[in-house]
Structure 1
Amino acid sequence: MHLRILSVILALLVAPVAKAAEFSPLVDTDGQIQYPRNFRTEMVHLGSWFVPAGEASGFHDVYTERASVEAFRKTGKFPDGATLVKELRHSKSGTYTTGENVSHATGEIKQVFVMIKDAQGRFADNPLWAEGWGWALFKPDNLSKNVAKSFKADCYACHLPAKNNDWVYIEGYPTLIAEP
């Protein structure tokens, strides 16, 4: 009898964690998004943006899971649980054999943005989950802490022009287009 009660209690404790892990290993049961370690080697590079001036200047390299690319190519939509990682890095310019003022990304990270697709609205009470996505921002001095406070305050203004594309600027991601 005690063993059965213990197994029921254990199942109740483990079920929410397992369910969250099935959705995304980067999201806990409260909707907190973790920094995606090793994304440069474990994910597919979607494309890059270069912003020449201003606070967002630098290279913006964007990654997602291979399965998310395959799903997008088939349906034109990101699947539930898809992760988009945008790494913003400083840039340098110099003269190379290819020309003058050639820009390249440095190893110095400015910040990392993370979006996780939530087609089921799992975290409606969490202000970082809105418009079908979870939103996170990580600074290089503490990659274990999401510094974004809410979608409306920290993400909405930049992503509003991409609202009709599921809040994603897909025109910068040639990897989403099937190869000839």
Structure 2
Amino acid sequence: MKFKHLLKYTTLTLAALLTLGLALNTVFAAGPAKYNEAGELLLPQNYREWVMVGTQVTPNEMNEGNAPFAEIRTVYLDPGSYAHWKKTGEFRDGAMTVKELISVGERKGPGSGNGYFMGDYIGLEASVKDSKRFANEPGNWAFYIFYVPDMQMVTAAKNLPTEECAACHKSNAKDDLVFTQFYPVLRAAKATGISGIQPPKK
């Protein structure tokens, strides 16, 4: 009886460990991107705890009064993909970015001088690199919108048609459809194994 009980316990334990191992492997292998049953990307709730890789400002007054995107853009990269970037200088399969869009607000600052100050949130977007799910897309990237002013905020989004987003990235982005030329955080860390400002090359 003791042998049968031990065998049953061992079998159940191995099965539990195997299930846990498969679950953990799925979590780590897939990266931060999670999807619902409809295949929509779920917005990660804690993306502001990711690595902030860059911010750009494109005001109307520097674009003949009509900037294609009159906004301040702040981009976050998931920590696992940042660690992979530091090691290899490449974006891993499963990499995910989240982009917050903020209006250009006040131009006058009390004490700090004139400039471009953040206004209101006007958008929330994301991109995911997945060679299996997006095997036929350029660079295996897909693009998503969770919020813009003319739509209701959603927590799950369908990927946009590639031609709406990827064309500019294909023509102008420096690394794997990502505008790393505008992200000094990524430029400094690329394949160095460390974070932070690096001494200038002589």
- 1:34 equivalent in structure 2: 42
Using the TM superposition, give the Cα deviation of residue 93 of structure 1 relative to its aligned residue in structure 2, in angstroms. Answer: 2.0
Superposed counterparts of 1:125-136, under 5 Å: 129-136=137-144
Q: Does 1:93 align with 2:106?
A: yes
Q: Secondary structure at the match of 2:154?
A: strand
- C-alpha root-mean-square deviation of aligned residues, in Å? 3.1
TM-score normalised by length of structure 1: 0.73
Change in 2 beyond 3 A, CA 1:116/1:145: same
1:68/1:82 contact within 8 Å kept: yes
Using the TM superposition, give the Cα deviation of residue 103 of structure 1 relative to its aligned residue in structure 2, in angstroms. Answer: 1.2
Change in 2 beyond 3 A, CA 1:88/1:32: same
Partner residue of 1:23 out of 24, 30, 37: 30
1:48/1:173 contact within 8 Å kept: yes
Aligned residues: 162
- 2:92 equivalent in structure 1: 79
1:81/1:116 contact within 8 Å kept: yes
* Structure 2: gaps (5+ residues): 1-17, 61-66, 190-196
* Structure 1: gaps (5+ residues): 1-10
CA distance in 1, matches of 2:45, 2:121: 14
CA distance in 2, matches of 1:137, 1:91: 20
Using the TM superposition, give the Cα deviation of residue 75 of structure 1 relative to its aligned residue in structure 2, in angstroms. Answer: 1.3
Instruction: State which structure, 1 or 2, has the greater radius of gyration over its C-alpha atoms.
Output: 2
Q: Secondary structure at the match of 1:142?
A: coil
1:89/1:110 contact within 8 Å kept: yes
Q: Does 1:65 align with 2:65?
A: no
Change in 2 beyond 3 A, CA 1:149/1:20: farther
2:99/2:125 contact within 8 Å kept: yes
TM-score normalised by length of structure 2: 0.66
Q: Secondary structure at the match of 2:33?
A: coil
- 1:144 equivalent in structure 2: 155
- 1:168 equivalent in structure 2: 178
CA distance in 1, matches of 2:68, 2:45: 25
CA distance in 1, matches of 2:72, 2:101: 6
Task: Identify, as 1 or 2, the structure richer in strand.
Answer: 1
Q: Secondary structure at the match of 1:122?
A: coil
